[in-house]
Chain A
Amino acid sequence: GDSVTQMEGPVTLSEEAFLTINCTYTATGYPSLFWYVQYPGEGLQLLLKATKADDKGSNKGFEATYRKETTSFHLEKGSVQVSDSAVYFCVRSLNRDDKIIFGKGTRLHILP
């Protein structure tokens, strides 16, 4: 069935390190893809999105490119900050009244 797979956490990095969080998806049709972020004790916030193949979503220094050929949507940031510590969810949805599928989430710890 349709699913989203993202790398297991926790991921621990030093400040200013390069970040990649892998995400792959399966879906019938052409999904829209998202990264949501959940800061400690808070709700879900949209971080970035891409709605078609080769789109690049970007926000707050994070980027992810919708790769149809590899069914991937990996999250990257060139230089992480302590304030980026959070749980990151890769999410896919289709343009109909379908449920929105979440990956299991990747907890990111950034050390000063």
Chain B
Amino acid sequence: EPEVTQTPSHQVTQMGQEVILRCVPISNHLYFYWYRQILGQKVEFLVSFYNNEISEKSEIFDDQFSVERPDGSNFTLKIRSTKLEDSAMYFCASRYTGGLAFFGQGTRLTVV
């Protein structure tokens, strides 16, 4: 069964450092997403990406965040200068068309 793969599963970084979270969506999918979940809290939308550009982003997705699909397979989320409050589980998702999105297992980011 096809799946969305995220790496690493856990990343620890120092405050102020840049971090890149990587995702490999399902190969024929067209829409890509990043969500985050602060421990024990709700799942929050960050950004959606289609046709090589951001289609929508939330208030959380400020200038410190960026996304890229550099080679047609990977979909990355970069945080330029991490803050303590960026500590969360980050989920990547993709879908072809229609409503069903497939989620990765998540990357737990810990900022110290």
Interface residue ranges, A against B (CB under 8 Å):
31-34, 36, 42-46, 49, 51, 89, 92-95, 97-105
Size of the chain B interface, CB-CB below 8 angstroms: 25
Q: How far is the CA of A36 from the CA of B93 in the complex (A)?
A: 13
B interface secondary structure, majority = strand
Residues of B within 8 A of A32 (CB): 98-100
- How many cross-chain pairs have Cβ atoms below 8 Å apart between A and B? 63
B108 (CB) vs chain A CBs: closest residue:
A41
Nearest Cβ on chain B to A34's Cβ, whole angstroms: 7
Asked if B103 and A43 sit within 8 Å, CB to CB, the answer is yes
Q: How far is the CA of A98 from the CA of B48 in the complex (A)?
A: 8
Nearest Cβ on chain A to B76's Cβ, whole angstroms: 18
Q: How far is the CA of A97 from the CA of B98 in the complex (A)?
A: 9
- Looking at the complex, which one of B42, B100, B104, B106 makes contact with A104 (CB distance below 8 Å)? B42
A32 (CB) vs chain B CBs: closest residue:
B99
Counting CB contacts under 8 A, is B28 at the interface? Answer: no
Residues of A within 8 A of B48 (CB): 97-99
